[in-house]
């Protein structure tokens, strides 16, 4: 808290009174400075309470006014005269100009010395620094206790309270597991754009945001970034920076501890998962995500692959129950992962890019514990020399598609679907899309209408139009087979009569 001119006049151990400019008594005094120069402005920085005996004031009334104007223009807090040393009374021109400008003019009387006034200002700011340091220490202590009691959420709560700001904690994917408002604050997007930018700078950065400042601190000691913490506040003072750094240290320690704990948990579960994967009897339930699962075998000889995979799971799935309950173990020179089956894109494919020393992975879907051992065998059999291969992508239909030449696929698709695509291009309709949904739904009108979000009579009208355009009956099994094959063999579109993949 700053000291004002009013505080100086109200001090019980000073005999200082206001003679003019009382409307400016709430000006902040940054420092008290003694000078007898006729023009001290060049030696001032603003915010000073100028103390003088009047030696440099001169005898010209207009010069008196100009002296006050110069100090006011320099941003000084006020002007104080020592009475009964050189002046018996403050010149009336000085008082008039002080009242006109709202610039405080004070009398220093009795036994009060200039040194006493200077010491009052200095002692106030020294005490304020001590109080500020005490508040910082108290906030640091509160954050440390909160870290033990409630983890990152408690640390962020104490940091926001101590700085009157707002906090945001992001993981390595620039996502947060904490609940956020339905309409996320705009500054969250600003932070995410910064951390997702090309080669984000480690350490602390300061971002400007609509009159406020955002302190963005990287979490992590060395090497891989564990996440980021952002603090939005009015002013990033040194004490605020100290608190932000302290919070970042606590959060980094928590994340490092969580990583080590996660590695240990996966290591403890590994023997049971290994036994189940090899078809051996396991007497206790496995800790795994709810089925179905994506069973992935990685080729690796790196000794730290299991730990790397445990860390990478958080990048792929986030710090969620699905990530914590996933299974990891070594199978000889391979690494087995049992992950929640999220569909495309496959979690195992994304995991492959994050594990050091691993370049190939084979995967298979398992619907429950009874299929785990066979899924592991199929995933190991699908393991390519490089990259990711899922058994579902190598099924009979995929093999058929791979054997049809590009030219043959294009010719067949155009021969079967040509009239429909031309009709769609001319009339702005989408009969091909409707037919695909209709055939995928086993020609059920009600189900197809629900999927397309249209009335069943609208769908029937579209199907009659398709039959008229094709010149074929959709009730004919051969017609359905050829249409479904053409629509599924090579998904294509035609624009202005030109076919595109």
pLDDT tens column, 238-289:
999 999 999 988 888 887 777 777 778 777 888 888 888 888 877 777 888 8
CA nearest neighbour of 8 among 20, 18, 21 = 18
CA nearest neighbour of 147 among 264, 256, 237, 231 = 256
Between strands 212-219 and 204-209, the pairing is antiparallel
Q: Where are the alpha helices (DSSP H) in 287-371?
A: 305-317, 321-325, 347-352
CA nearest neighbour of 89 among 118, 122, 124, 64 = 64
Positions of the chain with pLDDT lower than 50, given as ranges: 179, 491-501
Q: Which residues pair with 336 in a beta bridge?
A: 297, 329
Q: What is the Cα 23 distance to its own chain's centre?
A: 47
Q: Which two tokens stand for residue 29?
A: 């005094």
Phi-psi label, residue 109: left if phi above 0, alpha if psi -120 to 50, beta otherwise: beta
Cβ contact 161:247 at 8 Å: no
Distances (CA, A) of 223 to 89, 202, 218: 71, 10, 11
Q: Where are the alpha helices (DSSP H) in 382-455?
A: 396-403, 406-427, 431-440, 445-452
Give φ, ψ of 122 to 5 degrees.
-65, -45
CA–CA separation, 306 and 269 (whole Å): 12
Q: State residue 442's pLDDT score.
A: 83
CA–CA separation, 300 and 190 (whole Å): 39
Query: Domains of the chain (ranges plus CATH)?
Result: 3-122 (3.40.1390.20), 151-254 (3.30.450.30), 288-393 (3.30.70), 401-500 (1.10.10.2840)
3-state secondary structure of 266: helix
CA–CA separation, 51 and 38 (whole Å): 13
Give φ, ψ of 291 to 5 degrees.
-65, 160
Q: Which two tokens stand for residue 341?
A: 């089956």
CA nearest neighbour of 417 among 405, 433, 406 = 433
Counts of helices then strands in the chain (DSSP H, E): 17, 18
Look at the pTM and tell me if it is higher than 0.85: no
The strand ranges marked E within 87-162 are 105-108
Order of strands across the sheet with 293-299? 327-331, 334-340, 293-299, 360-366, 387-390
Burial code (b: 16+ CB inside 10 Å, e: under 16) for 370-401 equals: ebbbebbbbbbebbeeeebbbbeebeeeeeee
Q: State residue 222's pLDDT score.
A: 59
Q: What is the pLDDT of residues 78-95, one digit of tens each?
A: 999 998 767 788 999 999
Cβ contact 9:25 at 8 Å: yes
């Amino acid at each position: 808290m700053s000291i004002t001119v009013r505080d100086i006049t109200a001090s019980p151990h000073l005999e200082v009174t206001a003679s003019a400019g009382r409307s400016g008594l709430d000006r902040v005094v940054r420092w008290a400075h003694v000078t007898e120069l006729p023009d001290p402005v060049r030696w001032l920085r603003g915010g000073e309470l100028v103390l003088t005996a009047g030696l440099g004031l001169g005898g010209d009334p207009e010069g008196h006014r100009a002296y006050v104007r110069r100090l006011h223009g320099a941003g000084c807090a006020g002007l104080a005269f020592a009475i009964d040393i050189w002046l018996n009374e403050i010149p009336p021109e000085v008082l008039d100009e002080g009242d006109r400008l709202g610039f405080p003019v004070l009398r220093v009387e009795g036994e009060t010395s200039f040194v006493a006034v200077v010491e009052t200002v200095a002692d106030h700011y020294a005490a304020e620094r001590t109080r500020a340091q005490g508040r910082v220490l108290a906030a640091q202590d509160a954050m440390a206790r909160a870290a033990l009691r409630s983890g990152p959420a408690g640390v962020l709560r104490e940091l926001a309270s101590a700085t009157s700001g707002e906090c945001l904690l992001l993981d390595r994917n620039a996502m947060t597991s904490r609940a956020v408002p339905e309409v996320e604050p705009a500054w969250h997007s600003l932070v995410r754009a910064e951390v997702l930018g090309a080669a984000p700078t480690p350490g602390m950065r300061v971002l400007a945001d609509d009159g406020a400042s955002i302190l963005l601190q990287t979490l992590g000691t060395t090497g891989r970034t564990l996440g980021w913490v952002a603090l939005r506040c009015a002013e990033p003072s040194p004490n605020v920076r100290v608190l932000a750094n302290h919070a970042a240290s606590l959060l980094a320690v928590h994340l490092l501890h969580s990583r080590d704990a996660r590695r240990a948990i996966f290591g403890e579960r590994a023997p049971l998962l290994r036994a189940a994967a090899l078809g051996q009897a396991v007497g206790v339930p496995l800790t795994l995500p709810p089925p179905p699962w994506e069973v992935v075998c990685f080729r690796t000889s790196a000794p730290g692959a299991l730990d790397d995979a445990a860390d990478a799971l958080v990048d792929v799935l986030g710090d969620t129950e699905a990530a914590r309950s996933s299974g990891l173990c070594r199978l000889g020179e391979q690494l087995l992962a049992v992950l929640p089956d999220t569909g495309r894109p496959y979690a195992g494919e994304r995991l492959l890019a994050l594990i050091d020393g691993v370049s190939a992975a084979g995967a298979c879907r398992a619907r429950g514990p009874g299929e785990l051992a066979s899924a592991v065998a199929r995933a190991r059999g699908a393991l390519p020399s490089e990259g990711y291969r899922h058994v579902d992508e190598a099924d009979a239909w995929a093999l058929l598609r791979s054997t049809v030449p590009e030219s043959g696929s294009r010719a067949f698709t155009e021969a079967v679907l040509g009239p429909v695509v031309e009709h769609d291009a001319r009339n702005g309709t989408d009969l091909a899309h409707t037919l695909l949904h209709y055939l995928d739904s086993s020609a059920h009108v009600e189900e197809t209408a629900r999927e397309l979000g249209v009335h069943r009579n609208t769908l029937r009208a579209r199907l009659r139009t398709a039959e008229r355009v094709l010149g074929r009956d959709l009730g004919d099994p051969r017609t359905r087979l050829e249409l479904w094959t053409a629509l599924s063999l090579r998904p294509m579109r035609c624009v202005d009569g030109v076919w595109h993949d």
